[in-house]
Amino acid sequence: MSASSSAPPTGKPRFAPKPPWLKVRAPGGESYGRLKETFRELDLHTVCEEARCPNVGECWSEGTATVMLLGDVCTRGCRFCAVTTGDPRGAVDVREPEHVARAIARLGLQYVVMTMVDRDDLLDGGASHVARTVTRLRELRPDILIETLLGDFGGHLSYVDTTVDAKPHVWAHNIEVVRRLQRRIRDVRCSYEQSLAVLRRVKERDPERITKSSIMVGIGETDDEVEETLADLRGAGVDLVTIGQYLRPTPKHVAVDRFVTPETFLRFENKAKELGFAFCASAPLVRSSYKAAEVFVKSVLHPGDPDAAKKVLSERLAEAQAAAARIDGQATQANGEAPRTVSELAARAAVSLIPASSLVRRAPSEV
């Protein structure tokens, strides 16, 4: 073998080694194992697992999880996101609002984040589907806190209204990156101005609704641009913001530009406080739904009182587990026996759900 053939390849490696502050312990523990097993039994898949979130163990132990609605194929193709891009061709599981609501109701969660893929193939972008899921879960578990992490619905503000009127406790939409990087990183159908517009609309529709957004860093921005984005989000009335390190999911996605230091994240957090955000979670491993229950309790229920917030979190988790046990017991007693699957439960109520055909966006020639 020649010397040249054995030489190491030149150039940057596909994945640069991560700094020590990005290393986390593998998830585990009783709560994590119990929830993971229950999610599989109920055929309920979480974004926490599919996105390999580094905080899954922390969040699950605190009774928080994120579920995906409307399938796993997104009509948009952003350069940072590992979700499959394609054309779902109007496919919608009309049983899903009932299915997901009943499944979540039976879990000992105190806070759930409902997120979605973009569905530009649907007449309302999936807004009514999300709203029905939120409404049904609120009926089954009035104690549970609900956050919706949604798309921009193509800028159609009436669709935004549909989801706001379902009254999730937090309405979230991620601006993702700073203004200059929008066209390079996000799908062409997204825009900085459109994201700000939908966040602003939520406050116009319901001034009491808590709004939230998230920024990725380490993807090509400057620190000044991050602070500018924080100011723009606050100007749109956003209450809560998270800032976290971008990590490249595959070699096909945009490369990491830099690993932002914990000190810089702290500076971003202090800037957010100066701007008047109710709460800012800013750290390398923070994600948009990071410790969502804790963020809500600390910022909304007990701002400035960490001891009271900790007590409330513990009490709410116990209440959630008791409520879930009651729901599970009721399901077992219904009609003398428990349905064999959650889908069977959903089928009993499916007659009240709208047909998928009414959600499909058709070309004018097909109407």
280 annotated as ligand-binding: no
Distance of CA 269 to the CA centre of its chain: 21
What are the structure tokens assigned to 138, written together?
């609120």
Listed residue (26, 59, 58, 65) closest to 42, CA to CA: 65
Beta carbons of 144 and 170 less than 8 angstroms apart: no
Listed residue (364, 352, 328, 270) closest to 94, CA to CA: 352
Could you give the CA distance from residue 221 to residue 84 in angstroms, rounded to a whole number? 26
AA letter at 124: D
59 annotated as ligand-binding: yes
- Number of helical (H) and strand (E) elements in the chain, helices listed first: 14, 9
Only one residue has tokens 């800028």, namely 155
Beta carbons of 111 and 71 less than 8 angstroms apart: no
Provide the 3-class DSSP secondary structure of residue 171: strand
Could you give the CA distance from residue 363 to residue 367 in angstroms, rounded to a whole number? 7
78 annotated as ligand-binding: yes
Could you give the CA distance from residue 48 to residue 53 in angstroms, rounded to a whole number? 5
Provide the 3-class DSSP secondary structure of residue 228: helix
Please give the torsion angle defined by the CA atoms of residues 30, 33, 34 and 37, in that order, rounded to the nearest 10 degrees: -170
Residue 350: count other Cβ atoms within 10 Å of its Cβ.
16
Distance of CA 195 to the CA centre of its chain: 15
Binding residue ranges for [4Fe-4S] cluster: 48, 53, 59, 74, 78, 81, 289
Binding residue ranges: 48, 53, 59, 74, 78, 81, 289
